Each structure stands twice: as C-alpha cells, then as structure tokens.
Amino acid sequence: MIRILLADDHALFRQGLRSLLEAEADFRVIGEAKDGREALRHALEARPDIILMDIQMPGLDGVQATQEILREWPQAKVIMLTMYRQDAYVFEAVKTGARGYLLKDADAKELLEAIRRVQAGEVLLDAEMAEQIIQDFKSKHESTPKPHAELSDREVQILKLVAQGYTNLEIASELSLSEKTVRNRLSDIFQKLHLNNRTQAALYALREGLAESGEGE
C-alpha cells in the first residue's frame, strides 16, 4: 500500500486527486494540506510514502515546505506539482532533493505511473531539467578534484544503483548486504561527495559517467 499526502491550496483539485488515487487498490490518501505549514506538519507526523506538493501555496510555499521536510526527514519522497515545466521553483525544489515534478495537466495514467516509479526509487526528470541541474552542479565543482576518487569500489557500486533508481532494499539484495549497511554506506557517500540527498547523488553519477540513465532496464 502506497500512503500519499496531498498538498494543494485548491480543495477541488485535492478532491479530484483523492478520488482518482483511492480508486487504485494499492494507493491510500492519508492526509490533505491546504498550505505549506500543514504539509510540513502532516509529513513529519504521518511519514507518508509519497508527498504530492503544489508549488504555489499561501504562507509557506511548496518549495519552502519541501526544504523544511527534507531537512527534518531526508528520506521523504516529494513530487512537485506545477503548471509549467520550466518553473524556476521546480528547479530549486529538485536541487533541494524533491524526487521530481509532475505537470498539473498530466493525464491519470501518467500520474499513477509517476507515483509508482518514485515509490520504487526513481527520480522523475526530463532530459532538459536533468541537464540544467547537472550543469549547475558542475559550475560549482568544476575547479575541484573529482571527489568520487575517494569512494571505495563498493560505494561506487551503490552509487551506480542509486542512479538507476534502485531502492535501498533492492541495492541490499543486489549486493548481498543488509539494508542498514546500505543506509550507512549512502551516508558515507553523501559526506565524501559533499551531497545532501539521493537526487543529487543520482545526478552526480550521471554527470560523472558512473552510470547512464535507464541503465539496467
């Protein structure tokens, strides 16, 4: 069962999403929030599997709420909801650690698939936005030595699997490790690469040629 939190300031939109999602046997909406403050509170209290987060909300907006949630709970899986693909706020949210974004005019099949993919560990970005983030990251680190030289062979293996969308449990199974060991190794990887989250780690691996998007599919 995938437990979902809906955060949007339009009640009718939330109601439509709830009806659509709860028609699926493997989805359950465990809460709704009309602004970023409510989203933050519900997310940290209920720890949903997926958070569908509107960007433009009164008070604390979706980007700020996502930043606060990820600061307290780095494993949160947030999908940003936006009207525009090139929304600068989406770019900032994804850099912060959101797992991707979804256009509000997406059809039902696309929405359901996106939720299941993110729950499985994937990052939802189109090629243009991924390239933007990679270039932004590169501009800030191009003068420094490649930090992945400090990674062990096992850590490189884990990083590659993260970039391919594997969950911690799947990585543990693939490499015959415990899930706790994978979590600990990921923390070491983030520290060595000066990264904050799984999204940044996946994009780093793609930028450095350590993995290719869609590899292993």
> DSSP string covering 133-192, please?
HHHHHHHHHTTS--GGGGS-HHHHHHHHHHHTT--HHHHHHHHT--HHHHHHHHHHHHHH
Q: What is the pLDDT of residue 109?
A: 93
Whether 36 contacts 61, CB under 8 Å:
yes
213 is a domain residue: no
Q: What is the pLDDT of residue 105?
A: 87
Question: What's the pLDDT tens digit per position in 113-138?
Answer: 999 989 988 888 766 677 777 677 66
- What span, in angstroms and rounded, lies between the C-alpha atoms of 138 and 17? 37
Residue that terminates a domain, selected from 78, 93, 124:
124
Same domain? For 14 and 108 the reply is: yes
Q: Which two tokens stand for residue 151?
A: 């990674």
Q: What is the pLDDT of residue 43?
A: 97
Number of domains in the chain: 2
- This prediction's pTM: 0.71
Same domain? For 9 and 50 the reply is: yes
Q: Which two tokens stand for residue 211?
A: 């993995």
Same domain? For 59 and 165 the reply is: no
Q: At what angle do helices 11-22 and 108-119 cross, to 10 degrees?
A: 70
Q: Which domain holds residue 171?
A: 133-207
Whether 63 contacts 43, CB under 8 Å:
no
137 is a domain residue: yes
Q: Mean pLDDT across the stretch 85-112?
A: 85
